[in-house]
Amino acid sequence: MNTPGLVLESVACTRGGRTLFEGLDLTLSAGQWLQVRGANGAGKTSLLRLVSGLLPPSAGEVRWRGEPVAGQRDRWCRERLYLGHEAALKDDLDPLENLQSASLLAGWPASRAEARAALTDAGLRGCERTPVRRLSQGQRRRCGLARLLLSRSTPLWVLDEPFNALDADACRWLAERLGEHLQRGGLLVLTSHQSVPLPPPARELQL
Amino acid sequence: MNTLATAADHAAPDAALPGLFDGLRAVFQRDLRIALRRRSDTLAALVFFVLVVSLFPLGVGPEPGLLRTMAPGVVWVAALLACTLPLSRLFADDHADGTLELLLLSPHPLALLVLGKVAAHWVAGVLPLVLVAPVLALQFGLPASAIGVLVASLLLGSPVLSLVGSLGAALTLGLRGGGVLMSLLVLPLLVPVLIFGAGAVQAHLAGLDVVGHFSLLGALLLLALLAAPAVTGAALRIALE
């Protein structure tokens, strides 16, 4: 028995009177990933926000493990991770504090040691106590992505342009983490303007 | 799917005992820490409060009787402005850096997270005002017992200012000129707090009983505590759609 993980059923999205997409059907199962493509303004970010629950669909339904997400908010909030355009960091806090408060809010509290290990793995060794405002764009990005390492047991990852502002090493590092996630049976939805160094996606969506 | 199922099952014991106030505490501690690192914001509100209150004796002239009758109203109006004006930024910074999405995506109840933010704002930004109020009241020649009533009325009333102000901040989030609009929305709603807060001190000066005023302030606080965070949360969801 293989219940599909994420299902979109004739989903539509209208923003500011303009229909971005409608009648969108999609099924994503364990270990599969979806690449969303499209020109600027085509609605890629809107689709990701819709999948993660920040934006209610104007028609249709998003289902998770066979049930509408609206009816299982608590479980749904713990089983999906959304990383948006912004790294979602507080400038006045250091990466360690940022990571710990983000993980507390997401419902999987991380110990100081776990957070420190995640930052080291993300290549931020030595900057754990530097206020985020003094980090470079790429380092901020890495700091945001370190949340992925703390949410290994979260099945669905929804990532908006995760490869932006990363150098070649960091891109390779991120691709490895995403590959591991898929091998664990995780699901992944992402947008990217660059070619993604992963096995070809199970689903591809052109908006 | 098997690996996923085990991962979810593994997480279940934690999920079964979700500390209801964990999210509230996390937001409260985070915001308080940020406020401590940006003391200039807190200090600006405090200096504004002190300046506005100190300008009145200079403008009105040194007539003790007049100053004493004016004192409760002046301190209360200044506290109201100093408390609500910086509130327009309550969610704007979080909105700009993307951390507001963390709150909306969290499995913790949004109303409690909002309450944590408001509590942090009150402790860092409003409590200092209440603490300097007695010193300012001395300028107006208020007797010691009246100063006690003033501080108590501020302690009971100012959380209402923060709670209702947070609602205005959420409703005007992302609008241009949101600060002015927020004041227009929120200040009329705060008139009852002003009347009963300043009224308590005036009643005390007139030798009347103040229990009624404090009961009403307490009722307003309970109402705001119950309703404001939930409504603010709903407004935030709409603002971020």
Task: Taking residues B9-23, report their average pLDDT.
Answer: 57
Task: Please say if the pLDDT value at position B202 is more than 50.
Answer: yes
Characterize the bridge pairing of strands A187-191 and A59-64: unpaired
Give the nearest partner residue to B8 out of A74, A79, A109, using CB atoms. A79
Task: Please say if the pLDDT value at position B14 is more than 60.
Answer: no
* Residue A58 contacts B, CB cutoff 8 Å: no
| Phi-psi label, residue A66: left if phi above 0, alpha if psi -120 to 50, beta otherwise | left
* Residue B33 contacts A, CB cutoff 8 Å: yes
**Buried b or exposed e, range B59-91, using 16+ CB within 10 angstroms:** eeeeeeeebbebbbbbbbbbbbbbbbbbbbbbb
- Across chain A, how many H-helices and E-strands are there? 6, 9
pLDDT at A188: 92
* Residue B13 contacts A, CB cutoff 8 Å: no
pLDDT at B16: 40
In Å, how far is B49's CA from the nearest CA of chain A?
26
Task: Please say if the pLDDT value at position A2 is more than 80.
Answer: no
* Residue B22 contacts A, CB cutoff 8 Å: yes
Instruction: Tell me the pTM.
Output: 0.89
* Residue A108 contacts B, CB cutoff 8 Å: yes
Give the nearest partner residue to A91 out of B2, B97, B108, using CB atoms. B97
Cβ–Cβ gap B23/A52 under 8 Å: no
Q: pLDDT tens, A100-149?
A: 999 999 888 888 999 999 999 998 888 888 999 999 988 999 999 999 99
Task: Taking residues B40-69, report their average pLDDT.
Answer: 90
Which residue matches tokens 């994503």? A28
pLDDT at B222: 97
In Å, how far is A125's CA from the nearest CA of chain B?
22
Dist CA B33 CA B30 (whole Å): 5
Cβ–Cβ gap B3/A30 under 8 Å: yes
Give the tokens for residue A143. 């700091």
In Å, how far is A45's CA from the nearest CA of chain B?
12
Cβ–Cβ gap B105/A77 under 8 Å: yes
Cβ–Cβ gap B29/A79 under 8 Å: no
Which residue from A minimizes the CA distance to B238?
A55
Cβ–Cβ gap B107/A77 under 8 Å: yes
* Residue A185 contacts B, CB cutoff 8 Å: yes
Share of chain A above pLDDT 70, in %: 99
Cβ–Cβ gap B2/A185 under 8 Å: yes
Task: Please say if the pLDDT value at position B4 is more than 80.
Answer: no
Interface test with B, best of A1, A15, A65, A78 (most B CBs within 10 A): A78
- Domains in chain A (CATH in brackets) are 6-206 (3.40.50.300)
Characterize the bridge pairing of strands A203-206 and A187-191: unpaired
Cβ–Cβ gap A85/B98 under 8 Å: yes
pLDDT at B2: 42
Burial category of A24 from C-beta neighbours within 10 Å (exposed 0-12, middle 13-18, buried 19 and up): buried
Dist CA A195 CA A157 (whole Å): 18
Q: How confident is the model at residue B5 (pLDDT cuts 50, 70, 90)?
A: very low
Give the tokens for residue A8. 């979109």
Chain A CB contacts of B110 below 8 Å: none
In Å, how far is A1's CA from the nearest CA of chain B?
9
Q: Poorest-confidence range of A79-88, B193-202, B209-218? A: A79-88
Task: Please say if the pLDDT value at position B9 is more than 70.
Answer: no
Q: How confident is the model at residue B13 (pLDDT cuts 50, 70, 90)?
A: very low
Q: How confident is the model at residue B82 (pLDDT cuts 50, 70, 90)?
A: very high
Nearest to B154 by CA among B231, B76, B82: B76
* Residue A75 contacts B, CB cutoff 8 Å: yes
Asked if the ipTM is above 0.85, the reply is yes
Give the nearest partner residue to A86 out of B22, B27, B98, using CB atoms. B98
Dist CA A145 CA B146 (whole Å): 56
Dist CA A86 CA B97 (whole Å): 6
